[in-house]
Amino acid sequence: MARGCGMKMKISKTVYINTMGCQMNVVDTEQIEKILSTIGYERTLSLDTADLIIANTCAIREKAQQKAFSFLGRLAGLKKRKAGLIVSIGGCVAQQEGERILKRMPYVDLVFGTDAICRLPEMVQQIEVEKCRVIDVETTTSVNEFENGIALHNHREAAKFVTIMQGCDNYCTYCVVPYVRGREKSRASGKIIKEIRELAKSGVREVTLLGQNVNSYGKKEGLCTFAELLRQVNEIEGILRIRFTTSHPKDLSDDLIGAFHSVEKLCDHVHLPIQSGSNAVLKRMNRKYTREEYLTKVDRLRQACPGIAISSDIIVGFPGETEDDFLDTLDLIKLAGYNSLFTFNYSDRPNAPAAAFPNKVHPAEQKARLQSVLSLQESITTQKNSELVGSTAQILVEGKSKKQRLNDVNPNGQAIQWSGRTSTNKVVNFIRNDHEGPGDELLPGKLVHVEIEKALAHSLWGKLVEAEPFGLKGKKYYAA
């Protein structure tokens, strides 16, 4: 079989990849797709006709893991009906469960861990030839390196994730990540910059720098600081916006806070997971900050960048969380004035110390607390969104909106609903009903101005007022 040498391979086989979980898995899936193309696999959206099926799984919460197993369960019948089908599981559940999956699911041919993606071609070919079962959950201390940029040339998406580090050393007591993604390891800044330059050349306009704790980027390896990396990315021609996720509050340095003021392309949004508003719970979670320290950082961020949007993660029902602890969380949510929130019911995870903590909160109580958080945040978000009606927002167009609303199609039937994000990470859908400026096909990847006409719970709607060609207008001047 011809490989490498830049030769285009004849595509003969297809792979269906079900990506579950976080952005790390989204990036891993892109890498899986790229590396499997070297042995002739093309991505398909048809489960029934695929030659190879991969479940790229997430283990962060119990529910995510159940979802992975229920997807795999559905494949047992398919495997029986289709000779030669290869069923495979990758990602965090594969890393965590390893051998147990082969024992429990006789129809699974391949189990590969989070560090084994680079060895996929050999493993798949071995299964094709020998009809055997293979497992590889080896971990490594070095970072997985893939030249994403080249693979992504075909996609022409406006916004992309770029992994800058993997793993985590924080050991929050509820979290499985250090056990399934390994120790923290950062990529060399030169490689990151090279990859982003390639992405920019291929039409990508926004990059989100990805890691479990980006603020501690390069510390271990003695590389540049994360704020310095942001300044380097800011210099890359063609890139219009920079985002990053996730930041651990304890490592949010003054230098990084200052970057929201001084790094022109850095978007006005930070995801800063608090997890709980109770100091007692934060201590048991091993988060290494207090609510007071957290709120001081929120104030500093708002001083550096007055319009900054802040989002967060909250876990409700952590073992031993009392009613008063929970009230502290509600209070903190109000004080922080989050723009959006991701909320989770605590669940025990294998290896995570909190699984052995006493005083588990009853599921019914957890459910009620989750509901209280959701409705509080919904009222805050609705209020914040409604304040934006009538303002003009600069958005980066990502593509057509998901929900095409028939009523909004203009009389000529030519309007298309587009979707993009503000610098503050709000989704704005808009109708293009003029015929000036760039052609519709050129809209994705453009910064445009949209007048906000309507605020819904999770998105904003507006109309295009100016489609400008490439170029950053001073980022601080747009209300949304």
C-beta of 251: minimal distance to ligand SF4 in Å? 9
Residue tagged 């709120």 (tokens): 295
Sign of the C-alpha dihedral computed for residues 308, 204, 117 and 194 taken in this order: negative
Q: CB under 6 A: which stretch of 12-20, 114-122, 163-171, 288-296 binds ligand SF4?
A: 163-171
* Tokens (6 digits) for 478: 């747009």
Which of 94, 137, 158, 168 touches ligand SF4 (CB under 6 A)?
168
Q: What phi and psi, each to the nearest 5 degrees, are found at residue 185? A: -145, 130
Nearer to ligand 5AD, 65 or 429 (CB): 65
Which of 23, 126, 170, 372 touches ligand SF4 (CB under 6 A)?
170
Task: Say if residues 275 and 282 touch (Cβ distance below 8 Å).
Answer: yes
The reply to whether 305 sits near ligand SF4 by the rule CB under 6 A is: no
| Listed residue (299, 291, 252, 302) closest to 272, CA to CA | 252
Partner whose footprint covers residue 248, from ligand 5AD, ligand SF4, none (CB < 5 to 8 Å by kind): ligand SF4
Could you tell me if residue 255 is left (phi over 0), alpha (psi between -120 and 50 degrees) or otherwise beta? alpha
Which of 40, 113, 149, 178 touches ligand SF4 (CB under 6 A)?
178
Partner whose footprint covers residue 144, from ligand SF4, ligand 5AD, none (CB < 5 to 8 Å by kind): none
Q: CB under 6 A: which stretch of 173-181, 290-298, 388-396, 433-441 binds ligand SF4?
A: 173-181
Q: CB under 6 A: which stretch of 51-59, 70-78, 90-98, 345-353 binds ligand 5AD?
A: 345-353
Partner whose footprint covers residue 178, from ligand 5AD, ligand SF4, none (CB < 5 to 8 Å by kind): ligand SF4
Cis bond upstream, residue 246 (ω within 30): yes
Strand partners, 467: 448
Three-state DSSP class for 151? helix
Strand partners, 136: 112
The reply to whether 281 sits near ligand SF4 by the rule CB under 6 A is: no
x-or-dash pattern for ligand SF4, window 226-265, by CB under 6 A?
Answer: ----------------------x-----------------
Nearer to ligand SF4, 92 or 134 (CB): 92
Partner whose footprint covers residue 349, from ligand SF4, ligand 5AD, none (CB < 5 to 8 Å by kind): ligand 5AD
Nearer to ligand 5AD, 205 or 287 (CB): 287
The reply to whether 349 sits near ligand 5AD by the rule CB under 6 A is: yes
What does the alpha-carbon distance between residue 303 and residue 257 come to, in Å, rounded to a whole number?
A: 9
CA distances from 45 to 51, 55, 77, 78 (A): 12, 13, 19, 15
Task: Say if residues 380 and 334 touch (Cβ distance below 8 Å).
Answer: yes
SS3 content of the chain, % helix, strand, coil (to 5): 40, 20, 40
Which of 315, 333, 452, 480 touches ligand 5AD (CB under 6 A)?
315
Which of 175, 200, 333, 395 touches ligand 5AD (CB under 6 A)?
175
The reply to whether 291 sits near ligand 5AD by the rule CB under 6 A is: no
What does the alpha-carbon distance between residue 64 and residue 71 come to, in Å, rounded to a whole number?
A: 11
How many residues appear in the chain? 480
What does the alpha-carbon distance between residue 426 and residue 407 come to, in Å, rounded to a whole number?
A: 23
Helix (H) or strand (E) holding 165: strand 165-166
* Tokens (6 digits) for 102: 């082969």
* Tokens (6 digits) for 214: 């980006």
The reply to whether 422 sits near ligand SF4 by the rule CB under 6 A is: no
Partner whose footprint covers residue 212, from ligand 5AD, ligand SF4, none (CB < 5 to 8 Å by kind): ligand SF4
Nearer to ligand SF4, 23 or 170 (CB): 170
Q: Interface residues with ligand SF4 (CB under 6 A)?
A: 168, 170-172, 175, 177-178, 212-213, 248
Q: Interface residues with ligand 5AD (CB under 6 A)?
A: 60-61, 174-175, 273, 275, 313, 315, 344, 346-347, 349
